Chains A and B, each alone.
Chain A
């Protein structure tokens, strides 16, 4: 057994039993030479038999007990076991194409100025329901508008191990849930003078099934954490394709346009209620027009029409969550784990699984 390998593929999973088999089979079907990589699956306290599926494909399986500490924590534990000079992160619901990992590796080998490269999502979603399609396209829209930007996507990304360690690894202290940890890592890599690339030519498929509730919850968590912990202005420059910016960027012009149109409508004698509603809708449609045009182009006009009210709802959730995050930041400060974790960390308790580390 060689002491080091070109690449270690770390798959973090938490109750991803429904998709894990396909994900790991896709990694095994990669065109990388079989002896050039290892698969490390880190199971973050799943209760759905993910470990049994992982055992069928992985070289190493790490079982974390407890209540689940999040993908940032799980991936960091995986890196601690990894023997590769490069570390690939693949989410438990992301399917790579046969040449995805080899192309990422080739990019890093050919371009010494790039230390981390990640793949964009493709237009297709593993789940066929409308909301999954909508959410996948919304994220894809952001990535397409800012193609080639210096941003790290945790769904599928490869990073030089030395650069990853030098940047301080994932922030497992603040990101206890799957939310913006990749954005934060990318920003720290950039801050350390490392090259980060979100490649538009590399595509992966996300299999996760979403519903309206889970989408709103995801938008709420992302927006709130962005406003409270990472800083909206700072991150809008570092990670422009983040979905929170896709949703919130149009809010200010929408409100301004709506105000202007309503002010203009006030000069019209006794405007009809229907006219007022039409004016409001027109303002929202105009500001979101690029997104609707993207939906229409990829899924058809009917899809764009149906997605319009969902998009407005999600924007409202993002706006409220951003305000909530700003208020919490002023009142309570940055995000921190629960009191027990802080206390264990304070006394330096040595235990397995380890207490989340502060950066």
Chain B
């Protein structure tokens, strides 16, 4: 049970093999080697070291009967290629609708599935607990 009082499933959208570029393959291969050689703890410690700039996260909340607006996707999300600079989390109550444009744009999209009927506030709190960013922007979908 999360602090927001709802059970949720978190999964990360990764590019399918067909859409992976040679750079993706090389990065994954390097990450696997790093984890094997140094261990996950050390690798994560390196990631947690001092940073020059804040880490940014973007949370999009889709309660029941809400969808992503096209404007929101085009204005608020980083352009393709820059998506690695922002961690994007989509928190949905029930099965999300119309998120394909977002999945295309954000390579490492994390989707947080909460039971249908979960309130907007609970979804926000739940997503916040998963967001690693120093600066977290929270957005909501639009009613259907």
- 18 other A-B residue contacts (CB within 8 Å) besides A60-B137, A352-B53: A1-B71, A1-B72, A52-B129, A54-B128, A55-B127, A55-B128, A55-B136, A56-B121, A56-B124, A61-B136, A62-B136, A63-B133, A351-B52, A352-B50, A352-B52, A352-B55, A353-B54, A353-B134
Smallest CB gap from A350: residue in B:
B52
**Most B-side CB within 10 Å, residue of A49, A52, A350:** A52
Q: Say yes or no for A58: interface residue by CB 8 A criterion.
A: yes
Q: Say yes or no for B23: interface residue by CB 8 A criterion.
A: no
Q: In chain A, residues 47-71, which have Cβ atoms closer than 8 Å to a Cβ of chain B?
A: 49, 51-65
A127 / chain B contacts, CB cutoff of 8 Å:
none
Tell whether, in the assembled complex, residue B125 and residue A60 are in contact, meaning their CB atoms are under 8 Å apart. Answer: no
A178 / chain B contacts, CB cutoff of 8 Å:
none
Q: How far is the CA of A65 from the CA of B124 in the complex (A)?
A: 21
Tell whether, in the assembled complex, residue A59 and residue B138 are in contact, meaning their CB atoms are under 8 Å apart. Answer: yes
Q: In chain A, residues 61-84, which have Cβ atoms closer than 8 Å to a Cβ of chain B?
A: 61-65, 81
B54 / chain A contacts, CB cutoff of 8 Å:
62, 352-353
- Interface SS majority for chain B: mixed
- Interface size range of chain B in the complex: 20 to 34
Tell whether, in the assembled complex, residue A81 and residue B135 are in contact, meaning their CB atoms are under 8 Å apart. Answer: yes
Q: Say yes or no for B19: interface residue by CB 8 A criterion.
A: no
A52 / chain B contacts, CB cutoff of 8 Å:
3-4, 125, 128-129
Q: Say yes or no for B76: interface residue by CB 8 A criterion.
A: yes
B138's contact among A1, A58, A65, A353, by CB below 8 Å, is which? A58
A81 / chain B contacts, CB cutoff of 8 Å:
135
B4 / chain A contacts, CB cutoff of 8 Å:
52
Q: How far is the CA of A81 from the CA of B134 in the complex (A)?
A: 12
Q: How far is the CA of A52 from the CA of B136 in the complex (A)?
A: 12
